[in-house]
Amino acid sequence: MENKKVPTNTITRDIKDLAAPTGNIYETVVILSKRANQIALAEKKELTKKLEDFRGERDTMDEVFENKEQIEISKYYERLPKPDLVAISEFENGELEYKTVEDGQ
pLDDT (tens digit per residue) in 72-102: 888 899 889 999 999 999 999 999 988 877 7
Q: Domain residues for 77? A: 15-93
Q: Number of helices and strands (H, E) in the chain?
A: 5, 0
**How many structural domains is the chain composed of?**
1
The tens digit of pLDDT for each residue in 24-61 reads: 999 999 999 999 999 999 999 999 888 887 766 555 66
In-domain check, residue 7: no
Contact residues for 85 (Cβ-Cβ < 8 A; gap 6+): 6, 7, 8, 10
Q: 81 with 8: CB under 8 angstroms?
A: yes
Secondary-structure breakdown of the chain: helix, strand, coil percentages, each rounded to the nearest 5: 60, 0, 40
In-domain check, residue 29: yes
